[in-house]
Amino acid sequence: MSETLLEVRQARKHYDDGNIQALDGVDLSIAAGEFITISGPSGSGKSTMLNLLGGLDTPTSGEVLYRGKNIGTEIDLDVYRAMHVGFIFQAFYLLPSLKAIENVQVPWLGGSCGVSSKREETARELLCELGLEHRLQQYPAQLSAGERQRVAIARSLANNPDILLADEPTGNLDSVNTAKIMEILKGIQQRRGMTLIIVTHEDEIANSAPRHIRMRDGRIL
Told to check if 155 binds another protein by CB under 8 A, we report yes
Told to check if 87 binds another protein by CB under 8 A, we report yes
**Smallest gap from residue 176 Cβ to another protein (A):** 26
Specify whether the CB–CB gap between 73 and 85 falls below 8 A.
no
What's at 189, amino acid-wise?
A: Q
**Smallest gap from residue 1 Cβ to another protein (A):** 30
Q: How many residues bind another protein (CB under 8 A)?
A: 21
**Smallest gap from residue 105 Cβ to another protein (A):** 11
Query: How long, in residues, is the chain?
Result: 221
**Smallest gap from residue 175 Cβ to another protein (A):** 26
Told to check if 106 binds another protein by CB under 8 A, we report yes
Nearer to another protein, 86 or 180 (CB): 86
Identified binder of another protein from the candidate list 44, 51, 189, 195, rule CB under 8 A: 51
Q: What share of the chain is helix, strand, coil (3-state, %, to 5)?
A: 35, 30, 35
Helix, strand or coil, per DSSP, at residue 71: strand
**Smallest gap from residue 162 Cβ to another protein (A):** 14
**Element (H or E) spanning 25, and its range?**
strand 20-31
Specify whether the CB–CB gap between 77 and 54 falls below 8 A.
no
Task: Choose the stretch contacting another protein; rule: CB under 8 A; options: 108-116, 129-137, 168-176, 188-196.
Answer: 108-116
Specify whether the CB–CB gap between 27 and 219 falls below 8 A.
no
Told to check if 81 binds another protein by CB under 8 A, we report yes
Identified binder of another protein from the candidate list 60, 138, 159, 208, rule CB under 8 A: 159
Q: What is the DSSP letter of 7?
A: E
Nearest CA-CA partner of 36 in 219, 216, 215: 215
Identified binder of another protein from the candidate list 31, 32, 65, 82, rule CB under 8 A: 82
| Rounded Cα distance, 51 and 63, in Å | 13
| Rounded Cα distance, 97 and 15, in Å | 34
Nearer to another protein, 26 or 180 (CB): 26
**Smallest gap from residue 65 Cβ to another protein (A):** 19
Angle, vertex CA 196, rays to CA 193 and CA 197, nearest 5? 160
- Contact residues toward another protein (CB under 8 A) are 51, 54, 56-57, 78-79, 81-83, 85, 87, 89, 93, 95, 106-107, 109-111, 155, 159
